[in-house]
Amino acid sequence: MQTKTEANIFSTAFKLHTIGFSVIPSGGGDKGKSPLVTWTPYQHRRPTDAEMEAWQEELNPRLWGVVTGAISGCAVVDTDGPEARAELEAEIGPPHVITPRGGAHWYFQHPKHQVKTGARLLPDVDMRGDGGFANIVGASKDGEYKIATLPTPDTLHPWEKLPERIKAALDDSKPAPQATKGEGIPEGQRNATLARVGGSLRRWGMPQGTIEAALLEVNIAQCQPPLPKNAVLAIARSVSRYAPSVSSPLWPEPLAAEAFHGLAGEVVRAIEPHTEGDPAALLLNFLTLFGNAVGRGPHAVAEADHHGCNLSCVQVGETSKGRKGSVLGHVRELFSKVDPTWTLEHFTGGLSSGEGLVWAVRDRIEKIVKGESIVVDAGIEDKRLLVIETEFASPLRVMSREGNTLSATIRQAWDSGTLRILTKNSPAVATGAHISIIGHVTKNELLRYLSDIEAGNGFANRFLWACVKRSKVLPEGGGAPDLSEVIPRLNKALVVGRGMGEIKRDTAARRLWADVYPELSEGKPGLFGAVTARAEAQVLRLSVIYAILDGNPQISPRHLAAALAVWDFCEASARYIFGDALGDHVADRILDGLRGSPNGLSRTDISQLFARHVSQGRLDQALGLLLSSGRAHPETRATEGRSVEVWVLSHNSLISQDEG
């Protein structure tokens, strides 16, 4: 749902669009302050109303910016910092826009000749002219862009008012010559460039007519020499054959405030200043440890399924330097104050086999000897088990071995807590097991070792996937957090929670659940869809934990809202991690090969990617998936002998690669 602030930002951006500026979205995820769309077309035409609305709906941008130059009739002087701003304010007058770090933007009328875009023309002074871009409304990670005076044709400064020292720096005492039509796209690059621009427009759902008009404008304005009109229209038709692809996944936005409800939020706020770790990792570690420590008593029921508080979470970083271990150490230290036996005796690592996991929570083993039942092993009385895998790639590798039972056992542990291995040499059985798993892995390792089998068989969707990274630098260390206020409250929540049984939603929460359930339960395509297929169950378990932390035997709307906020973050993380993968390791390997082969790959080349160890039937299956998903398609090419089938990336895959 769009917030009031987001609506106001878009309203201002749309107003700028309607009064003649070329306005495009920027500032999403790790894009920082950069444009979120390929903006070459918008140097030559303004976006349509439909494009603006589609961007707002699909991208939910934090910032909007003006494509400067002749297209918008303006050039922008940009200062960094308050000192340069004060100097120019004395010369020009109040700025139009105040930037986050105390700088400012002044909008000038375009002088009808080319204005160079240049950085650091003078100390802390830039010019945004033809080919330039300036953010104007919204907020980046540095802060908010505040419009002091809305730039309109009536409020733009005359070009003559530009300070002479800036004109001199631009070497603009004489009018610069008009840009040669077609400058920048030489012969030999025209087709590929127009295909990428058209693919970008198709990516955002633009119809064929809009793509044709845009490519014709770019062709005339930039191609040297312009392509024949029929050739441009053919490119537009080719691009329009493919369904619009989803935008390249971005690093997820920070957890929403609702996720930090109650005691969980207080714990995070107490620890966060003292660690370089990600607040999301802090929260998910706390929820996972609490869910295991509270035991199997409190639970929810969905149809015939029992859902306890045992969560499993894998924290995924771009590198191994995400400070995941230090975060876990802080949370574990907190729980050692309230349940020292559990933290000492029921934490383990080294997942390697299903048999080993069953043995760690085994029931008593008896054997009949001469007609009498003899206890061979006393078993484990307390079935709570928290498994820490700081190298989660290791069990993923193990699970790929033929005959390994670890994946199936982990699925049993999440589903019912009844674990058994159907082999002669595994007499152990576990009932009532309460197992949670925390894993640490890098994105590259995860995509390398998580097989399509484990993704598709339900192993992956029993985990919460969370993108985490270093949040700050503490060269002297963060010191010890003061947990004196949260320790007694945590102890009380555990004591009260262990006495609870089935936890249901109250009336208001049921209404909210009815609203969100259709979207939660809707299937999604590809590997991303496979790893998020248990959204409803994950949200249910999270909401139960939030209710217990409040000491409430019923789930209220605030508990459900907190759970949904956590799930939204985990779903966005999964989209970032898995969004480009198809969930078929053969198809994904071919796609990687095509990305490194601009001229395409023949059937023989594709077979060589796998050292000829993949059957032709399996390759046909993978190529069919690439074709149906619009990622790649075959072309027939003439040779001196027989024609050859060559597979090439489709335009939307080229754009996804280029902009990702």
Task: Give residue-wise pLDDT tens across range 290-308.
Answer: 999 999 999 999 988 899 9
Maximal C-alpha separation, the chain: 110
Mean pLDDT, rounded, for 330-335? 95
Three-state SS at 180: coil
Checking if the pLDDT of 503 tops 90, the result is yes
Mean pLDDT, rounded, for 469-479? 82
* Rounded-to-integer distance, Cα 389 and Cα 392, Å: 5
Are the beta carbons of 583 and 523 closer than 8 angstroms?
Answer: no
Highest mean pLDDT among 83-92, 209-218, 256-265: 256-265
Checking if the pLDDT of 356 tops 80, the result is yes
Domain boundaries, the chain: 4-179, 257-578, 585-659
Amino acid in position 396: L
Exposure on the CB side of residue 540, measured as CA atoms within 13 A: 24
pLDDT at 580: 60
Checking if the pLDDT of 86 tops 50, the result is yes
* Rounded-to-integer distance, Cα 293 and Cα 347, Å: 11
Task: Give residue-wise pLDDT tens across range 163-186.
Answer: 888 888 876 434 333 333 334 577
Peptide bond into 35 cis (omega under 30): no
pLDDT at 178: 37
Q: How does residue 137 score in pLDDT terms, banded at 50, 70 and 90? A: very high
Candidate from 74-88, 449-463, 563-577 with smallest mean pLDDT = 449-463
Q: What angle do CA 492, 497, 503 make, to 5 degrees?
A: 145
pLDDT at 425: 62
Per-residue HEC secondary structure of 560-593 comes to HHHHHHHHHHHHHHHHHHHCCCCCCHHHHHHHHH
Q: How does residue 582 score in pLDDT terms, banded at 50, 70 and 90? A: low
pLDDT at 487: 97
CA-based R_g, the chain, Å:
29
548: closest CA among 282, 295, 269? 295
* Rounded-to-integer distance, Cα 259 and Cα 568, Å: 10
Look-up: residue for tokens 């990305």? 595
Q: Across all residues in the chain, what is the average pLDDT?
A: 84
Checking if the pLDDT of 95 tops 80, the result is yes
| CB proximity list for 113: less than 8 A, separation 6 or greater | 175, 176, 177, 178
pLDDT at 322: 55
- 585-659 matches 257-578 in CATH topology: no
pLDDT at 422: 61
Both structure tokens of 45: 């035409």
Strands (E), 80-124: 97-98, 104-109, 118-122
How many residues can be counted in the chain?
660
Q: How does residue 494 score in pLDDT terms, banded at 50, 70 and 90? A: very high
Residue 517 — φ and ψ, nearest 5°?
Answer: -60, -45
pLDDT at 271: 95
pLDDT at 251: 82
Mean pLDDT, rounded, for 282-294? 98
pLDDT at 123: 78
Checking if the pLDDT of 4 tops 70, the result is no
Highest mean pLDDT among 110-119, 234-243, 644-653: 110-119
* Rounded-to-integer distance, Cα 624 and Cα 626, Å: 5
* Rounded-to-integer distance, Cα 11 and Cα 13, Å: 5
Both structure tokens of 84: 């340069």
Mean pLDDT, rounded, for 592-598? 78
Q: How many other CB atoms are found less than 10 A from the CB of residue 401?
A: 9
pLDDT at 622: 81
pLDDT at 180: 36
pLDDT at 3: 59
Task: Give residue-wise pLDDT tens across range 11-70.
Answer: 899 999 988 899 999 875 444 677 887 677 788 788 888 788 888 877 888 899 999 988
Question: Cα dihedral sign for 471, 472, 473, 476?
Answer: negative
Are the beta carbons of 421 and 358 closer than 8 angstroms?
Answer: yes
Distances (CA, A) of 588 to 65, 109, 312, 526, 585: 35, 50, 27, 11, 5
Beta bridge partners of 34: none
Are the beta carbons of 108 and 147 closer than 8 angstroms?
Answer: no
Both structure tokens of 4: 């009031």
Top-confidence residue, 179 or 207 = 207
Host H or E run for residue 403: none
Beta bridge partners of 438: 313, 388
User: Please, what is the end-to-end C-alpha distance for the chain in angstroms?
Assistant: 26
pLDDT at 575: 87
CATH 1.10.10.10 is the classification of domain 585-659: yes
pLDDT at 120: 65
Candidate from 231-245, 257-271, 391-405, 493-507 with smallest mean pLDDT = 231-245
Checking if the pLDDT of 471 tops 50, the result is yes
Mean pLDDT, rounded, for 470-477? 82
Whole-prediction pTM value? 0.59
455: closest CA among 412, 520, 396? 396
Beta bridge partners of 602: 646
* Rounded-to-integer distance, Cα 46 and Cα 67, Å: 9
Distances (CA, A) of 520 to 248, 461, 513: 22, 13, 10
Are the beta carbons of 145 and 99 closer than 8 angstroms?
Answer: yes
Mean pLDDT, rounded, for 110-118? 82
Top-confidence residue, 263 or 141 = 263
Checking if the pLDDT of 93 tops 80, the result is yes
| CB proximity list for 214: less than 8 A, separation 6 or greater | 41, 45, 197, 198, 201, 206
* Rounded-to-integer distance, Cα 489 and Cα 266, Å: 10
pLDDT at 532: 92
Q: What CATH number does the domain located at 257-578 have?
A: 3.40.50.300
pLDDT at 444: 79
Three-state SS at 69: strand
pLDDT at 6: 66
pLDDT at 20: 87
Task: Give residue-wise pLDDT tens across range 315-327.
Answer: 998 766 656 667 8
